[in-house]
Amino acid sequence: MKVAVVGATGLVGTKMLQVLAERNFPVTELLPVASERSIGKEVEFKGKQYKVVSMSDAIAAKPAVAIFSAGGGTSLEWAPKFAEAGIKVIDNSSAWRMDPTKKLVVPEVNADVLTQDDYIIANPNCSTIQMVVALQPLHKKYKIKRVVVSTYQSVTGTGKKAVDQLFGERAKAEKGSNAEHPMAYKYQIDLNVIPQIDVFLENGYTKEEMKMVNETKKIMQDDSIRVTATTVRIPVIGGHSESVNIEFANEFDLAEVKDLLATAPGVIVENDDAAQLYPMPLNAHERDEVFVGRLRRDETQPKTLNMWIVSDNLRKGAATNAVQIAEYLLSKGLL
CA 310 – CA 291 distance, rounded (Å): 5
Ramachandran area for residue 7 (φ above 0: left; ψ -120 to 50: alpha; else beta): left
Active site residue 285: no
Q: Which residues pair with 226 in a beta bridge?
A: 146
CA 122 – CA 325 distance, rounded (Å): 10
Active site residue 139: no
CB 169 within 8 A of CB 186: no
Q: What is the DSSP string of 181-217?
A: ---SSSS--TT--B---S-B-TTS-BHHHHHHHHHHH
Distance between start and end Cα atoms, the chain? 9
Catalytic residue selected from 139, 181, 240, 285: 240
Q: Give the residue numbers marked as catalytic.
A: 126, 240
